[in-house]
Amino acid sequence: MNSSKVALITGITGQDGSYLAELLLDKGYIVHGIKRRSSSFNTERIDHLYQDPHEISPQLILHYGDLVDSTNIIRLIKEIEPDEIYNLAAQSHVAVSFETPEYTANCDALGTLRILEAVRILNLEKKTKIYQASTSELYGRVCKSPQNEDTPFNPQSPYGVAKLYSYWIIKNYRDAYGIYACNGILFNHESPRRGETFVTRKITRGLVRIDSGIDEILYLGNLNSLRDWGHAKDYVKMQWLMLQQDYADDYVIATGKNKSIKEFIELVACELGWNRKNRNLPAIRWEGSGLQEVGIRNENNKIIIKVDKRYFRPSEVDSLLGDPTKAINKLGWRSSITLEKLIHEMVEFDKLKLAKQ
Ligand code: NDP
Ligand code: GDR
């Protein structure tokens, strides 16, 4: 008899989904993942985990699906009867949510409701545990720092508002129907698998290309916002841990340290060795302000960063800093990969990727 636990991951083709799939497969789970149909391949992050469906008892099984299609969600959950559902699927780009607010709400808010209702319709309330990918974007314009599980929410984007609905509907179904459902309120987490339009990856990839002489300028938006950045590989361990407790609860997951976009750029420039000649000088110096602000590479006096207003958001989240005390005390979880190590990994990956092109 096969006694492996069965997990269903929505968003398995994304950054977190790929790391979580690795973790669960390592733990001996049978992992089912939902992927969307797309006109080109979208499974790059999980290709190394692929198993031929013709094999006897594959451990990883992919299904076509979409969070905006309730019939699909109900049918898959009925077929799979998962012990654990990790709801990671989302239109996850904050800036894009201003362009596609209705779709973002449909996927990021109603998608969660569809999963909860499927579990209820199929009478799986006592069997299936649910992890919901909540976010520090719920806090938005903050009135208190650092932010913990009791800090009031004040989202500043259609993405943040959609995720706020999901946060509350998870809590509501937990209270109303006794479903084991948890919100992981995760602060930003990055990795070499981060999408290339998120700011950290845009910077590591962009500066590696400038370093190689391929590009001259990297255009960015607001350079002054502060984020609490951790490593995605670290954070998915907590997603699993949250579903292994005696009772369901919500947790903030963060490093407890933050840096500005400018500081992140400076760290990447140092990682590339741009201050090797004169360590007393910063690798980058900043001049001007607002749209005129530029980042100049000190080594050769070249402008390499320019601000482009197209990357400004209609409303911005200026500063986020998480307080993970509850997760440390109750889950025994602690972020273990430093920002410097994360940057090193991302830069090495982008160099290698460029070399292969
Ligand atoms: P990604 O953008 O890398 O991945 C999102 C995943 O969702 C992809 O697999 C994507 O598929 C899938 N997806 C998007 N829309 C749908 C849909 N309608 N139906 C089914 N699948 C869909 O995000 P991350 O891995 O970085 O984040 C995972 C989750 O955690 C997201 O919900 C995000 O909002 C949340 N989060 C992320 C944080 C972070 O810093 N990374 C912090 C806090 C929360 P495809 O590959 O086809 O696009
Ligand atoms: P965020 O991440 O909005 O925090 O959402 P992102 O990397 O997109 O932005 C972080 C900050 O950088 C500023 N910024 C830019 N951002 C992007 N994308 N591109 C630019 O060129 C640029 N220039 C400056 C932004 O204005 C912002 O202040 C991420 C996502 O993973 C969400 O899904 C998740 O919920 C939150 O993190 C926590």
Question: Which ligand is the nearest neighbour of the Cα of 223?
Answer: 2
pLDDT tens string 254-313 = 999 999 999 999 999 999 999 888 778 889 999 999 999 999 999 999 999 999 999 999
Look at residues 163, 165, 326 and name the one whose alpha carbon lies nearest to residue 251: 326
End-to-end CA distance of the chain: 47
Q: How far is CA 201 from the centre of its chain?
A: 12
Contacts of 342 (CB under 8 A, 6+ apart): 190, 191, 229, 230, 231
Contact between 227 and 198 under an 8 Å Cβ cutoff? The reply is no
Q: How far apart are CA 253 and CA 250, in angstroms?
A: 10
> Would the pLDDT of 2 be above 70?
no
Are the C-beta atoms of residues 187 and 231 closer than 8 Å to each other?
no
pLDDT score of 84 more than 70: yes
Q: Percentage of the chain with pLDDT > 90?
A: 92
Whether residue 8 has pLDDT greater than 80: yes
Average pLDDT over residues 335-346: 96
Pocket of ligand 1 (CB under 6 A): 10-11, 13-17, 34, 36, 38, 42, 66-68, 88-92, 107, 133, 135, 186, 188-189, 195
Q: Say if ligand 2 is within 6 A of residue 311 CB.
A: yes
* Start-end of H helices in 243-338: 261-271, 325-326
DSSP string, 58-92: -SEEEEE--TT-HHHHHHHHHHH--SEEEE--S--
Distance of alpha carbon 105 from alpha carbon 98, whole angstroms: 11
By most ligand atoms within 8 Å of CB, the mutation choice from 190, 198, 265 for ligand 2 is: 198
Q: In angstroms, what is the span from residue 198 Cα to ligand 2's centroid? A: 6
pLDDT of residue 72: 98
> Hey, which residues are catalytic here?
135, 137, 159
Average pLDDT estimate for 84-101: 98
pLDDT score at 55 = 81
| pLDDT tens track for 156-182 | 999 999 999 999 999 999 999 999 999
Ligand in closest contact with the CA of 229: 1
d(CA 218, CA 305) in angstroms, rounded, equals 5
Judge whether residue 345 has pLDDT over 90: yes
Domains of the chain plus CATH, in order, are 6-192+230-257+317-337 (3.40.50.720), 199-223+261-316+348-356 (3.90.25.10)
Residue 352 has pLDDT above 70, yes or no: yes
The β-bridge partners of 226 are 260, 319
Q: Is the pTM here over 0.95, yes or no?
A: yes
Higher pLDDT, 279 or 130: 130
Q: Which residues contact 319 (CB under 8 A, 6 or more apart)?
A: 142, 145, 225, 226, 258
**Does any ligand 2 atom lie closer than 6 A to the CB of residue 75?**
no
| Residue 108 burial class via C-beta count within 10 angstroms: exposed 0-12, middle 13-18, buried 19 and up | buried
Mean pLDDT of 91-102: 98
Nearest CA to ligand 2 atom 38: 188
Q: Which two tokens stand for residue 243?
A: 């579903």
Is the pLDDT at 1 greater than 50? The verdict is no
Q: What is the ipTM of this complex?
A: 0.99
pLDDT at 44 over 90: yes
Distance CA 150, CA 317 (A): 19
What's the mean per-residue pLDDT of the chain?
96
